[in-house]
Amino acid sequence: PKMGDAAGTPFLHCPAHPDAVNVRHVVFLHGASFTKEIWVKREIMQQFCAEPTVSATAVDTSFSNYTQLQAVLDNLELSSSVRKPVVLVTPSAGGMSVVDWMINGNVTVLRQYVSVWIPVAVGSLPSASDDQVASLVPMPVLAIHGDQDTTGGRMSERLEQLAGATVVELPGEHPVYRDSPVEFA
């Protein structure tokens, strides 16, 4: 992955193959204890970069509200790194911006930015009401958590019940992508 900057937001990026059609643009946020480099250190970015029809971007995040996420995704698109809507991977605190979007924003607009949401043990989910979580439908949601993370498991279960999420439990703790990187990818 190569370094880039989108209006002050540093990111790592690898484009899809130039001849690829039906490209999936995957954007990785990170949890509070990590940076965008976690995706490279655990070789998850490299697995996505090896796929010719995938454009993968890891962003350093320090935001928790949806307007900041919206601005970052707009700036990434302006830098020609991604095309919306993206597949958005949000571990732990990285998911606060999507939860804020459910609570304070327009979920119809969220769907113009995010085609698939992959929350990983998003602990801020309880701040959204049942109706707000259910408003994600029909957006596909893939909720992932570690088998040693009971809170993450409860968040995945709530997303399954209210938003029809597909749930995947992998071996590991709260940062399950660190513990099971191959399976995660």
pLDDT of residue 135: 97
Prior bond of 10 cis (ω within 30°): no
pLDDT at 15 over 90: yes
Percent of the chain predicted with pLDDT > 90: 86
Residue 7 is predicted with a pLDDT of: 82
- Helix, strand, coil content of the chain in percent (nearest 5): 40, 25, 35
CB 38 within 8 A of CB 66: no
Q: What is the pTM of this model?
A: 0.96
Predicted local distance difference test score (pLDDT) of residue 170: 98
- Phi–psi pair at 48, nearest 5 degrees: -70, -40
Percent of the chain whose pLDDT exceeds 70: 99
3-state SS, 106-175, equals: CHHHHHHHEEEEEEECCCCHHHCCHHHHHCCCCCCEEEEEECCCHHHHHHHHHHHHHHCCEEEEECCCCC
State the pLDDT at residue 23. Answer: 95
Please work out, in degrees rounded to the nearest 5, the angle formed at the alpha carbon of residue 127 by the alpha carbons of 124 and 130. Answer: 115
Mean pLDDT score across all residues of the chain: 94
Starting at the edge strand found earlier in the chain, the sheet holding 9-14 runs: 2-6, 9-14, 54-59, 24-28, 86-91, 114-120, 142-146, 166-170
Q: What's the pLDDT tens digit per position in 133-166?
A: 999 999 999 999 999 999 999 999 999 999 999 9
Supply 106's token pair. 């327009």
Q: For 60-111, how does the pLDDT look when each residue is reduced to its tens digit (9 = 90+)?
A: 877 789 999 999 999 999 988 899 999 999 999 999 999 999 999 999 999 9
